[in-house]
Amino acid sequence: METSANGESDENGDGSPVNPRGMGLGIALGVGIGAALGIATGETGIWLAIGAGIGTAFGAAFSTQFDDD
């Protein structure tokens, strides 16, 4: 694990503030919610797409909150 310019840990060493664990968690959560709504309503395709979009937003939020120090 490297240290970024501002002294924070950089999990994947690329200088990006995004933590890949947070992105994965957010996208999995969003797709899971989308799949559940899709099965419940019978419109799986549209809800999976909506869930993936929401999951990306969740992932961006989660990735900036997790600190592995």
Higher pLDDT, 6 or 54: 54
Please count the other Cβ atoms lying within 10 Å of the Cβ belonging to residue 54.
17
Q: What is residue 20's predicted lDDT score, i.e. its pLDDT? A: 73
Does the pLDDT value for residue 47 go beyond 70?
yes
- The model's pTM is 0.64
pLDDT tens per residue across span 7-43:
556 565 666 666 677 788 888 999 999 999 999 999 9
CA distance to 19, 35, 67, per residue, from 53 (Å): 18, 13, 24
Does the pLDDT value for residue 3 go beyond 90?
no
Q: What is residue 63's predicted lDDT score, i.e. its pLDDT? A: 78
How many CA within 13 A on the CB side of residue 12?
10
SS3 2: strand
